Chains A and B, each alone.
Chain A
Amino acid sequence: MATNPSRPNFCGRTRREFLWQAGGGFTGVALSALLGQDGFLARQSVAADGVTEWRNPLAAKPPHFAPKAKNVIFLYMYGGPSHIDTFDRKPKMTGMDNKTVSVKTFGRGGHRNQGRIVEPRWKFKQYGECGKWVSDLFPHLATCVDDIAFVHSMTADSPIHGSAMLMMNSGKILSGSPCMGSWINYGLGTVNENLPGFVVMLDPRGGPISGAKNWSSGYMPATYQATVMRSSGTPILDLAPSGGLTRPMQRRLLDALRDYNEEHLASRGDNHDLAARIASYELAYKMQSAAPEAVDLSQETAQTKALYGLDDPTAGPFARQCLLARRLVERGVRFVQLYSGGNHNDANWDAHGDLKANHDLHAAETDQPIAGLLKDLKDRGMLDETLIVWGGEFGRQPTAEYAKGTGRDHNAYGFTMWLAGGGIKGGVSYGKTDELGAAAVENRLHVRNLHATILQQMGLDPNALSYFHNGLDQKLVGVEGADPIHEIIA
């Protein structure tokens, strides 16, 4: 990572010229403070063949300052888990079930000024040295509270799934901006070029609404978008040869291809893109073995598998993804996002109908896997360098959505997210919602503060990491900027 800023090397060009050429003419030239660091642009590595000069746009780049975390695993609880039924205990609601109260709410049902209380359906107990109250939904996770920082005063700009998800993933409620994983890969590159730097794994029941917009690189090049990885079968699109081509045959094909391409290159040696393309085939070849190896769980012990609950019929699928997430970060993947919940209605945490059935199901699917992940990372000494983020696009209202039943509508006025590892304090709770959990009232935070915290822990200055687009230095935290949540940073 050592660089020598006194000797900029852009092959004799000015930095701006180099940028133009490197991007082949960017729509938005990457002129961030980050790229301003001379070392990055001069960085060159050698391709898999050991000869060809190869500038992978994802090559590792130095952070702004020493990072606390090297990787992020974002456990995305799609649909919006209810904070007051999980980690944000509201004892004053006890005995209030079905009482109509005055409370301002805003969800898919619009703005309301009063509603019928739905008392939380689960008992809370205290856990750990910190004495954190956790509901019976998460018996396994409850044993990890001393490693977790709960943030109870989150707010978001939208209580509507589509725009709220875009906000949680890209910082904007408008379509078209890069997602967090794209920003991190743009800022830091990847330390393992044989694997993608930003991986998304989806719920077997389907993707989230707006699909790929949730892992898009927006106005940045496609290089920075997520690769969707499957937890079974061929992990990545087009990873395995089709049409009966075996790996040895493919090697032969690639050798011939290389001969042709090198001959073509011989009289065009000044065009680095040609050499880069030659190298990219070798990298692709290596990915074909690296990616299947990364998702091969046969190397894991029975004990590890049991820790995650891999054999449990309910928790199995998410357990597998959590274990894969650990294997991926172990191999240098910067940003892994796992979706709990997919598709529509009760296939995710969007409990509009039967709150109990919905949350019982999704908690049972994720509780042991997530606890297993935290414990496994801790046992391996990886938790310090891996930032875990848990939460959905918003929380849920204290009141019922309909005249009958226990379903709760969306709530962006106040909800809970939690973070663990990666330099985050354990056993703390920060911020408060009101007595009903209807809105954040103390130390209120915005999604941007969460994003700022994640970037900060990764060694990136959230208010400096920018990308020039549409006449503006765009940032994940918006043009106005945002502070990290210092109170939960160790």
Chain B
Amino acid sequence: MELAVWVIILPLLTAFSLGISKLYFKKIFFKLVIGSAILYLYLLILVITTSYPPKVYSIGQWGLLGINLMVDPLSALFLLIIALLFLPFIIFSMKYTKCIKHDYFIFSYLMVAGISGMVLTTDLFNLYVFMEVSSLSSCALSLYKKTDRGIEGTFKYLIMSTFGSFFILLATILTYYLTGTLNMAEISLAFEDTPFTIKSTIMAFFVFGYAIKIGLLPMHAWLPDAYEDSPIPYNVLSSGLVMKSAVYALIRGLYIMFGIDFLDESGLLTIVVFWGVITFITAHCLAFQQSNLNRLLAYSTIAQIAYIMIGLFVGTEAGLIAGSFHILNHAIMKGTLFFVVGIFNYSLAAVEIEDIKGLGYKFPILSFTFVVGSLAIVGLPPFNGFMSKWLIVEAALEAGFTYAAFFILVGTFLSLTYYLKVIVTLYTKNEKPLLIEEAGLSLKLPTIFLGSLCIVFGIVPSLPLHLITKIPTFLLDNGDYIRILIGG
């Protein structure tokens, strides 16, 4: 039982001991950072391999009253993303963050603790607390550069995110008021005879709160602002994990507590699919206008998460598999792209698209990685993005959302327009002499690792799908999940 608990405790503990070592033992600080990350990776792999069949861990002797952790395939997927991104993130940040790094690592460990808590817990309020932990530390990280734009963007991010949190908290309180419990399984049982209107109101609050954190259409504006002047390795974790954890919380909450039948009945599935279509079309239009690479990638993140939402909310088994696969793939692809942009930023302080002109000939391998990442995210074969998009379109067609499937292909075309703009700039000859600070191996290695994953998961998609295909079992039929949770 201890293993799953340690997934949360280890980063928390590391964060605190990093704080202490910053004050008293500065010498071992970085050894601690790296050592803990490696240990964490090992721990995550152990937990992921034991994720099927799902297991419940009760903390303390409280049974259902206390906090229960549960590792099911969906949580395991998120743990897998943490496992894939966190160590590269740490290695990359070691070199990338030039000045004071101590706070940076403390906050990143806190953030990961929050996210791993979110994906493991089965308690609604606990979920809220962990979400606040991760979003606050995420704000602290995004603030890290302390530039005008960075602070402004983070302020807007924090206000919007808190605004969303209020509605999540409100919905949580109302749920507790109605059911008298915070355990998701018990809520689900107690919800069965709640009036339709009240249930759907609560659901609307949940959806709205998380939609702000996910960045669906009218609530997306904070995201590019927050990304514009934040440390770029943070953006990797943010788009790969922080936003995805909101997606996780949303689908976990909706599918387990309300159940797929209610989602269908209340029309939420149709609404979210339509919402997703509007979101990604708009985001693609906006992304084309951007001259700042970070903003461009941020808008692309909005669009990609809209694809994920469509996949997850068509309400079929295939859709859930497709959406979950795209969650993983997007984390990898966006990680690759942000890492490459991060290296360009590190080497010659490039932020605009114009700044990277001609770098294709200076950094052949990195540019190739960028090309791979962007083609993958556009959704061209034979990369991983294509596989998950294929699955999403197939699922949408199967579930009868023909328009969504069609617009996903249109969106693919639109996303190519701006990624190709960057690629073409990358391979345009530049006469200007460039001042280049050589990027070390510690920057290149994580980038190339993620880039090669894009190709590997594209050619051998059965590798992650092995895990992912088990996800719908415990979401579509929430009975299984509830039985396991209550029984354990």
**A-B complex is real:** no
